Structure 1
């Protein structure tokens, strides 16, 4: 190989390496941009569903959807494409260009005045401007046909679904086997026999001890405890271990965390500002102590939902019941929300959501904007419950900070111990 060919060969290799590097960089950048775009899309769609779609449905569909045989101004707002296409006056929405979007001009009562019944609030107009500048994310596809093939949800028949029926005592299967110690075992064994499945042999003493330790307190037994149980693995010894673990403070810590997960326990407000809840630990300790004290489940729920309304024999009991209502107060709080009423209703929505998820196993947030599509929950029931929570003064308990106007009200919290006067003043 000559010197010149060597130079050419090296130059060719360098060129290939440079092109490969550039392609790799472009691929990485494209992937990064795709991930960011997906995150922005998810955030934008959530913004549309919570801030934009409800306004369109309530104030615009009456004149600009299939509800009208001839939509006014030939404008339809019930799908993404039709909204962007606009009507006889031009494009209603131009993604990323708020100043060119006629819908924003109409909401501001500039060229047009929409809705004609009255100008909407400044916060709604600002939401539309923010949404358009985000690129007007809108997950809606083709417009809904005028006559839907799906019948409306029958609330009355839906309430007959098995999950909404009162609990009944079932007939316990009769099984002929000494393996079953209780009715739960009998149900399991009957199902196993029906499926022709044989149960495994009983666990060895060391395995059994480890299982009960992890089940009840989430910690392993010590070597000495294992040795003692293995030497005498009697039923009485097993029952003594169970009783001792149930009396342990670790039992409430182990099982309380499951309830805390369900009720979205956290020690800060979350969302954009994420200020701390300095006294959230009181509610955490209430849950742990309640489980360790074997508080009845119905009492446990009543204290968390309405502890401030329950009678109390002592000041300590009143304090405990007030702490229990942290169940309603420890939700995520959007401290950037500048509209007080929107802020309050978002708090109410969170309270309804945590109550129904934790106690009923249902998500009812859909009914905030329309009758639930699958469960027998009409919007009127949602707002009947919302009215109760709306009349409740929620003391969120985050420390006062500069910024959101509503925070001056929302930052109040009860100092414990409290007396009657403290409670009265805090609730004014």
Structure 2
């Protein structure tokens, strides 16, 4: 059996690594990767720019040579431009030599990931505008720290927020621009977002919401100012655009492969597409939400890795399926932390739930042990079904890891009246005898 992988990112390479370990010499695997390297852990880029570590190559989980040593051929710098599904043939170009090539498969894995969304403004290709998603961009961003003063970050998602720390640690003047009503609206509710915004503003970071970028003012191929819809102009030595991503599937648009309007591929719980022997995984597919079985676009490395493991098992002949996800994520920006899972209240209402919320602020451990900090827990629940739909936690000292106690309750749809007395651990340096989670769960149970 010959398996071709389009894309060298987490999901696809995890799948074929698992497959190779099981089938060994009974499978031939070739991966075509557009970049010069596979398996980049791009989540580490803000931390490299912020000088949390010094070797950018450490973000590459496994090199092409390491894959080859395990019997997987990775052809880097090769872009697949067309697929003939009937003939089981892929067509591509070597980006370095410009030579075209053709290859055939028995099984095809589409793991092309996602590509940064663009503002589609003149000047967006200027030399000091970055998306911060490649190894080369990471190095360029860090190298620029010595020569820049004013940084404009466009997009207040988790990546944009993490870059606030990257440039803040270097003492730069930072302005974050968000077109929506509040930062990370797709991930957290406004009250939780405001807790983080307050901390960032106290550190001198300017955050502008309900603000739309209308123009890049460019001089000598560099953006010098950003113009907003309010006519305000903001000076910029460097611009980072982080307004989200979209599936990197444009080259498949004219094929019979089923995708939604967003370009995400539709798959079942075994990652089969509508075309025989063609599978798709990772940031280019739609994911089932465990809470209500609705389909969502969830671009997270954790989900992609699980996709790959399941598909590897399936291609090797083992029984497996992917149950879905609930969008769990966590970030730290300076010393502030946010964790989230499931639906926001806004999303829960939009999905037809009778959604209510409880928000409780306590402390992360006992007051008599030094450094006790506030921690705020928000739980969104369905008043009719009596289940938790989502949770958000803001705090410090890694207090947000409490989210791990709430995830299984959402995943299993545990009834609210069964969890008020959840047996959580207690020790003065870690928590109070009645933890803030117990308080919020008791409050929900009163409804």
**Shorter-chain TM-score tier:** under 0.3
Say which structure is richer in strand: 2
Say which structure is richer in helix: 1
TM-score, normalised with respect to structure 1: 0.23
TM-score, normalised with respect to structure 2: 0.22
Structure showing greater radius of gyration is: 1
